[in-house]
Structure formats: structure tokens, C-alpha cells
Amino acid sequence: MQSYQVGALPLINRILERMRLREILSEHLPPDDPRLELPTVSSLLVLVRNVLLSRQPVYGVAEWAAGFAPDLFDLWPEELSLLHDDRLGRALDRLFDSVGPELILAVVKYTGTPPSSLMVSTYSSCFKSGRWSLLCPQVMACVARPR
């Protein structure tokens, strides 16, 4: 018998379901290479959960995730071993290379949250009250938003 942590993952999973984040990412990311063992969207969702619950560095995500039941990440047990930093880094590269502001705007649309109240910080993407910094493939464009 093996015991796992549960923590706040069921609550986070429900929030991610209500946000439809899996569907939004699937819609905005290019299709995965059929040879890929772990879908990019699954990798990204593990990273989102990690940032919300633990904030482990990318190289520590696999060890962190191993303490939880795999089904809490929508993964099979053998897929947990695929969460190494190289694969997670490639998933982030795919996200930042292929998705523009439309992804963030889709999340805003589906959640009904005003952009001025969000603070999502990534390599080159953040919303701050009154200012938008939107992820673009090569350039970060900052525009002032009227209140």
C-alpha cells in the first residue's frame, strides 16, 4: 500500500476545470508531435499546479509531483517519471513560442475576471493593475489601459 499527499490539489483542479484551462491550452497550442510521450498541455498543467501550491523550481517538479497520486494531475503512474526539467522546459518553450496574447485574453474571457485585477507573471507576460504586458513571440508590448 502506498500513501500519497492530497493537499489542495482537488480544489486547484476544480478551479482549473472551471477556467477550462486544458481546453484553452489545447486550442491555442500547435498539435504535439505524435512521438511525444507526455502531452505539452499535461506538462504545463503540472507546472501551473506547482506554481500555485509549492513553487518548486523546474528541476524539482518531478520530485514534488511524485508525492501526489498521479490521477490528481490527470496522469498515469508511469507518466510521473516523464516530468523531468528538460521536458518541462520544452513545454514552456512551446507555450512561449506559439501563444500570443489571445491565450491570456481567452482565460480572461472565460473567467470573467477584469484584466486589471490579474497578476500573471511569466518570462515576458504579466498583467498589472492599469498596465498590460502581453506575451508576443519576439517582443513584449506594454500598453497603458484606461480605467
Q: Do both 34 and 104 map to the same domain?
A: no
CB 96 within 8 A of CB 122: yes
| pLDDT tens track for 55-102 | 888 999 999 999 999 999 999 988 988 999 999 999 998 888 776 677
What Cα–Cα distance (Å) separates residue 4 from each residue in 41, 46, 53, 66, 71? 23, 16, 15, 8, 11
Q: Do both 72 and 139 map to the same domain?
A: no
Q: Do both 3 and 72 map to the same domain?
A: yes
pLDDT at 46 over 90: yes
Q: Do both 5 and 68 map to the same domain?
A: yes
Q: Do both 94 and 112 map to the same domain?
A: no
DSSP for 92-140 reads HHHHHHH--HHHHHHHHHHHT--GGG-----SS-EEETTEEEE--SS--
- H/E element holding 144? strand 141-144
Can you give the pTM of this predicted structure?
0.71
Could you identify the residue written with the cell 490579474? 118
Q: Do both 27 and 55 map to the same domain?
A: yes
pLDDT at 115 over 70: no
Coil, strand or helix: which one is 59? helix
Please say whether the dihedral angle defined by the alpha carbons of residues 56, 61, 66 and 72, taken in this order, is positive or negative. Answer: positive
Q: Of 77, 99, 121, which residue is a domain's last?
A: 99
Q: Of 84, 99, 114, which residue is a domain's last?
A: 99
Q: Do both 85 and 132 map to the same domain?
A: no
Q: Report the number of distinct structural domains present in the chain.
A: 2
Q: Do both 44 and 28 map to the same domain?
A: yes
Q: Do both 89 and 20 map to the same domain?
A: yes
CA nearest to 117, candidates 142, 143, 147 = 147
| pLDDT tens track for 48-66 | 999 999 888 899 999 999 9
**Which pLDDT belongs to residue 99?**
67
Q: Do both 28 and 38 map to the same domain?
A: yes
Range of the domain at 31: 1-99
**Which pLDDT belongs to residue 117?**
61
